[in-house]
Amino acid sequence: MKKVITYGTFDLFHIGHLNMLKRARTLGDYLVVAVSTDEFNTGKHKQCVYPYSHRARIVEAIRFVDKVIPEKSWEQKVEDIINHSIDIFVIGNDWAGKFDFLKEYCEVVYLPRTKSISTTAIKSTVQNGKSIST
């Protein structure tokens, strides 16, 4: 069985998140998703609309996600890869090159993001009282 892992905040879950998770799952037989905890986000100066418990439950409910774990720090990735017997680490291509050090432990794949969608853009749109186009 080939295992895949990816990481993210997954706040205001949107089609870009779904696309990324679906593409990640097609690379293997089992998908582990590490969702950033509230404490980790605070350390990154990032504030979420939804708490970790809600974001993790949303991701957990997706049929092609097999396991959700908390992301508590940047440094935990190697430990997660080893502890969960991961074969492939997947992340958005806006991080290209940043996780190449993980190639010592598993394959590293940078996937393209869904164009014209981001949580930051959604937050901005909602704050400005506009609707989101589909």
Candidates 2, 3, 22, 46; catalytic one: 46
Q: How many CB atoms lie within 10 A of CB 7?
A: 22
Annotated catalytic, 44? yes
Query: Which one is catalytic: 2, 22, 44, 67?
Result: 44
Query: Tokens 């504030």 identify what position?
Result: 47
Q: For 41-72, give one letter per residue: b (16+ CB within 10 A) or e.
A: beeeeeebebebeebbebbeebeebbebbebe
| β-strand pairing of 88-92 with 107-111 | parallel
What are the structure tokens assigned to 39, written together?
């404490």
Active-site annotation, residues: 44, 46
